């Protein structure tokens, strides 16, 4: 089973530069051969590159030290050594690269074509041909290559989700994700089923546009202080445009649960409370009394826009998606509509 690893420390060392050559040419009709030692090759760089097929940093679980190839030494006849091969390290989209010693953010992989040279290979040494002069015609020395750069890095993954689904354990978040996206998370009827974030893609308007949703493991009181599973994954909703708070509609005190969830988000990152949000009351299929549903809706109406659904029975899911469109993606929809109108006008011409 793949382990979801979203933070790891690694060490990276670029290649050492190749040594310059100390060499003298030997020619049949030349009484004194001149210096002709070539330069050493540059050491290989280490480059970090985004890989869309990766969703976790688990490949760095067992190997933590990486070194690029050293440059090759120079040779006679002024032949330069070959450059060391670059080493490419792949990371999931959304990975941040920090210098562990200074804490500086070096690069943030927010684009799928992202690439970052994290350490540079050492320069190759000069061959003895460079040190020939009128007063020193037979230099018997050359330069060694330089060390490649070294860094101690922290790779920290923050999923690039557009919408984060948060709630208490067993609220039905994974079931909801599985019904409105193509994700297939593990689902069971007990607390803490989800041990890692699940990602799914929602396709809207005949697949004209898409957005990504992340199901964050169930949060319990104290998550921001390290209790339970939620804290480990709160980072994965830091980039979202909107948050779905999902509750079991039969919960005893939804208002108090909502207050607790917001308190945990505030403790982790207060800015999260400024994101647009929707309240989702799940599992309304467990009773048949519509008036009771209305009563529950009325009791929590002060929390924001509330949508009652049954993820399991697929009740009101289209309504939920429509409200999400207008609440979280209004700007994108307006731009899409503008582009469609512009295209239509150009076609008419």
- The reply to whether 13 sits in an annotated binding site is no
- The reply to whether 174 sits in an annotated binding site is yes
Q: Are 285 and 313 in contact (CB under 8 A)?
A: yes
Bridging pattern class, strands 115-119 and 150-157: unpaired
- The reply to whether 285 sits in an annotated binding site is yes
CA distance 164 to 177: 10
By the 10 Å C-beta count (0-12 exposed, 13-18 middle, 19+ buried), 104 is classed as: exposed
DSSP assigned state of 315: B
Helix axes 317-328, 330-348, angle to 10 degrees: 80
- The reply to whether 81 sits in an annotated binding site is no
- The reply to whether 167 sits in an annotated binding site is yes
Q: Are 236 and 243 in contact (CB under 8 A)?
A: no
- The reply to whether 284 sits in an annotated binding site is yes
Bridging pattern class, strands 198-204 and 209-215: antiparallel
DSSP H helical ranges for the chain: 173-180, 230-234, 254-268, 290-299, 317-328, 330-348
DSSP assigned state of 104: -
The token pair at 222 is: 């104290």
Q: Are 3 and 60 in contact (CB under 8 A)?
A: no
- The reply to whether 223 sits in an annotated binding site is no
- The reply to whether 310 sits in an annotated binding site is yes
- The reply to whether 215 sits in an annotated binding site is yes
- The reply to whether 193 sits in an annotated binding site is yes
Sheet holding 115-119, edge to edge: 87-91, 46-50, 115-119
- The reply to whether 56 sits in an annotated binding site is no
Tokens 């049954």: give the residue: 310
- The reply to whether 196 sits in an annotated binding site is yes
Q: How many other CB atoms sit within 10 Å of the CB of residue 241?
A: 17
- The reply to whether 312 sits in an annotated binding site is yes
Q: Are 193 and 206 in contact (CB under 8 A)?
A: no
- The reply to whether 135 sits in an annotated binding site is no
- The reply to whether 192 sits in an annotated binding site is yes
- The reply to whether 262 sits in an annotated binding site is no
The binding site for Mg(2+) consists of 174, 194
Question: Which residues participate in the annotated binding site for GTP?
Answer: 167-174, 192-196, 215-218, 282-285, 310-312
Binding site listing: 167-174, 192-196, 215-218, 282-285, 310-312
């Amino acid at each position: 089973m793949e382990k979801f690893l979203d933070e790891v420390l690694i060490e990276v060392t670029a290649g050492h530069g190749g040594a310059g050559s100390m060499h003298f040419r030997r020619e049949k009709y030349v009484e004194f051969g001149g210096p002709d030692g070539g330069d050493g090759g540059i050491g290989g760089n280490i480059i970090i590159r985004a890989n869309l097929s990766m969703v976790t940093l688990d490949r760095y679980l067992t190997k933590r030290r990486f070194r690029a190839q050293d440059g090759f030494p120079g040779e006679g006849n002024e032949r330069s050594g070959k450059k060391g091969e670059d080493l490419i390290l792949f990371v999931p989209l959304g990975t941040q690269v920090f210098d562990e010693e200074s804490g500086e953010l070096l690069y943030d992989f927010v684009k799928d074509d992202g690439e970052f040279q994290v350490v540079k290979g050492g320069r190759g040494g000069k061959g003895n041909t460079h040190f020939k002069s009128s007063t020193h015609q037979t230099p018997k020395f050359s330069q060694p290559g330089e060390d490649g750069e070294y860094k101690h890095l922290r790779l920290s993954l923050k999923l690039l989700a557009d919408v984060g689904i948060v709630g208490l354990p067993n609220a039905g978040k994974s079931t909801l994700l599985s019904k409105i996206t193509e994700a297939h998370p593990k689902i069971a009827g007990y607390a803490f089923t989800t041990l890692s974030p699940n990602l799914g893609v929602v396709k809207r308007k005949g697949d004209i546009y898409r957005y990504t949703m992340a199901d964050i493991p169930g949060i319990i009181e104290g998550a921001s202080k390290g209790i339970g599973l939620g804290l480990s994954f709160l980072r994965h909703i830091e980039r979202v445009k909107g948050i779905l708070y999902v509750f079991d509609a039969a919960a005893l005190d939804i208002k108090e649960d909502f207050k607790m969830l917001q308190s945990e988000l505030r403790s982790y990152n207060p800015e999260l409370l400024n994101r647009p949000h929707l309240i989702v009351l799940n599992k309304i299929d467990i009773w048949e009394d519509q008036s009771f549903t209305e009563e529950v809706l009325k009791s929590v109406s002060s929390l924001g826009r509330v949508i009652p659904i049954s993820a399991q029975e697929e009740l009101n899911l289209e309504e939920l998606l429509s409200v999400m469109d207008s609440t979280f993606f209004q700007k994108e929809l307006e731009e899409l509509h503008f582009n469609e109108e512009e295209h239509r006008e150009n076609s008419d011409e």
